[in-house]
Amino acid sequence: MNFFSAVGEDISNFFTEFGNDFYLNFIKNARWQYLVNGLGVTLKVTLFAVIIGIVLGFLVAIIRSTHDKAGTMTPFLKFVLNVLNFLCNVYLTVIRGTPVLVQLLIIYFVIFASVRIDKSFVAIIAFGVNSGAYVAEIVRGGIMSIDQGQFEAGRSLGFNFAQTMWYIIIPQTFKNVLPALGNEFIVLLKETSVAGYIALEDLTKGGDIIRSQTFSALLPLLAVAAIYLLMVVLLSNLLKILERRLRSSEK
């Protein structure tokens, strides 16, 4: 047999096989919808978890750095602050000391056990609360890295503690921690892939469902991986542009 025709046959076989596989995994029975719907769920969970994470993270960071900076205040305020700081420390220790998957399972099977509730809502809460702990430490580092003189300048103009934080410290902190925050959200996007453990049909679960129906693993999982990769690359670039924008605004 001619060598070239053998290779040609192999190649054409490959393409026929690939075509068949592709058809089976994505086109037949509109299986691509598992991926598209899953992607939607993944994006929704990530987006809302990010929002919860930012709000929670900033809140915890502000409480903790207020506690650390604590100037003079009434004994009552001091007591309240101490209690809040203690709660924040418990939160940070527990969340950062246990795997996110365990947290997700506990929230779903224990905390929300007796209520029928939207699974994506549970995932949003779990990943948001988890992310908040990491964001909090990033933001606290950011607040601490702002020059004390900024704080004093704000206070000397007559701004109270909260106003100084809001108008002067937080905007600068936000700019400083943006790269680290962005990174955290890219991590979060990927971490949500364990949401399938509570039978939430996210992107990963979508690919897995296809796999279990077609008994072919390669294409569905490759597709899932490619979509994650694409999103991460896209997000990273978006972040870079945003950073450059922020930096150029004061050049």
Partner 1 sequence: MKNSNPEKPFNPETDPLISVKDLQKNFKGLHALNGVSLDIYKGDVVFVVGPSGSGKSTFLRCLNRLEEPSGGEIFFEGVEITDRAVDINKHRQKMGMVFQQFNLFPHMTVLKNMTQAPIKLQHISKAEAEAEARKLLDRVGLLDRENAYPNQLSGGQKQRIAIVRALCMKPDVMLFDEPTSALDPEMVGEVLQVMRGLAEEKMTMVVVTHEMAFAREVASKIVFMADGQILETGTPDEFFNHPKTERLKQFLDKVL
Segment near partner 1 (CB under 8 A); pick from 14-22, 68-76, 118-126, 217-225: 68-76
Residues 6+ apart with CB under 8 A from 43: none
Q: Does 237 participate in binding partner 1 (rule CB under 8 A)?
A: no
Structure tokens at 222: 């490759």
Q: Which is closer to partner 1, CB of 28 or CB of 155?
A: 155
Q: Are 42 and 196 in contact (CB under 8 A)?
A: no
Alpha-helix runs per DSSP H in the chain: 3-22, 32-69, 75-97, 100-106, 119-145, 148-157, 161-163, 170-191, 203-214, 218-248
Q: Does 118 participate in binding partner 1 (rule CB under 8 A)?
A: no
Handedness of CA 162, 163, 169, 170 (dihedral sign): positive
Residue 148 CB, shortest distance to partner 1, in Å, is 9
Residue 149 CB, shortest distance to partner 1, in Å, is 4
Dist. CA 243–CA 139, nearest whole Å: 16
Segment near partner 1 (CB under 8 A); pick from 21-29, 105-113, 165-173, 178-186: 165-173
Segment near partner 1 (CB under 8 A); pick from 23-31, 155-163, 190-198, 201-209: 155-163
Among 4, 5, 147, 241, which residue interacts with partner 1 (rule: CB under 8 A)? 147
Residues that bind partner 1 (CB under 8 A): 71-72, 74, 147, 149-150, 152-160, 163, 167-168, 171-172, 175, 249-251
